[in-house]
Amino acid sequence: MHLTDCDSPILLLHGILGDGRTFAPLQDAHPQLPLIPYTLSGSGADGESIAAQAFNTEIHSDQLIAHCTQHYATPVSLVAWSYSCHVALLAAFKAPHLFNALYLYDCIVPSYGLEEDPAALKAFSRDLHQMMSPVIKALRNGSPDVAVDAFVRACSAKNIGLMDQSPRIQAIKLDNAHTVSRLLTQKEPEPLTKSALNAYPVPVRICWGEDSRLIFQLASKALLEHLPKDRRLAGSGPLPNCDHLLPEEDPERFMQYILQGA
């Protein structure tokens, strides 16, 4: 499936520290495509008013299903990054009639068969601890701005900090600083096991950054490995010289992956 030939909606789903504004450059650069940024509940400048208990992948997937049911007469495609990859996967698993295909970058949830591989799960847990320790320390010290910077650096292969990013991205992330603690305290994500993936009903392209952290690579590789072959879209795999911040730092290159694959 080529999104360039698509006339049905293409929803763009952001990650933690983002909202619908994250993908505004893609909308501006591709007015010929039906790109629609979607903001997860609890994200955005007013997202902190949503109860923390309502911020998890299960609720977000159910809300996405309700949104698509209400607003679109035809199936949509989903472009998802990081946290929202699992949201997209759950939504399409529960309501496949609403979705044409999923285009995912850098999964983060230790599911998809990863939880059944002790060595891989141990490596995932070790890297996650290393990634989040400075973030948690900053939150405990009551320094959300420092936590945001630590989170950005942990996601960058080039040690990019918050102040190294564009003013537009900085503003979005500071508006969404509250989502970091909600990521840490959310209800455990509903798993998608190997047996569930055997019957996965929607085609998926899954890519990951060749330079992304190990947690993103392990989760993404597990998904690709355990999806049925007839559900793997061509172009899945690693993206050279890319890390987790690709959709923010080089949105045009990210879009080319969406359009063409790895």
Over range 171-183, report the average pLDDT: 97
Over range 134-150, report the average pLDDT: 97
Structural domain boundaries in the chain: 10-259
Tens of pLDDT, residues 8-40: 899 999 999 999 999 999 999 989 899 999 999
User: In angstroms, rounded to a whole number, what is the distance separating the alpha carbons of residues 115 and 226?
Assistant: 12
For the chain, the average pLDDT equals: 95
Quote the pLDDT of residue 257: 87
What is the pLDDT confidence band of residue 2, given thresholds at 50, 70 and 90?
low
Residue 4 reports pLDDT greater than 90: no
Over range 137-162, report the average pLDDT: 97
What is the pLDDT confidence band of residue 261, given thresholds at 50, 70 and 90?
confident
What is the pLDDT confidence band of residue 152, given thresholds at 50, 70 and 90?
very high
Element housing 79 (H / E): strand 76-81
Residue 248 reports pLDDT greater than 70: yes
Percentage, residues of the chain above pLDDT 70: 97
* CA dist list (Å): 168 to 18, 28, 188, 243: 11, 14, 31, 20
Tens of pLDDT, residues 220-233: 999 999 999 999 99
Tens of pLDDT, residues 76-125: 999 999 999 999 999 999 999 999 999 999 999 999 999 999 999 999 99
What is the pLDDT confidence band of residue 260, given thresholds at 50, 70 and 90?
confident
Residue 259 reports pLDDT greater than 80: no
Q: What's the CATH number of domain 10-259, 1.10.357.10, 3.40.50.300, 3.40.50.1820, 3.40.50.150?
A: 3.40.50.1820
Quote the pLDDT of residue 47: 95
**Overall pTM > 0.75:** yes
How many residues can be counted in the chain?
A: 262
Q: CB count, 10 Å around CB of 48?
A: 16
Q: How far is CA 54 from the centre of its chain?
A: 18
Quote the pLDDT of residue 7: 77
Evaluate whether 151 touches 128 at the Cβ level (below 8 Å): no
Classified as helix, coil or strand, 119 is helix
Q: Taking CA 55 as the corner, what is the angle to CA 47 and CA 212, rounded to the nearest 5 degrees?
A: 95
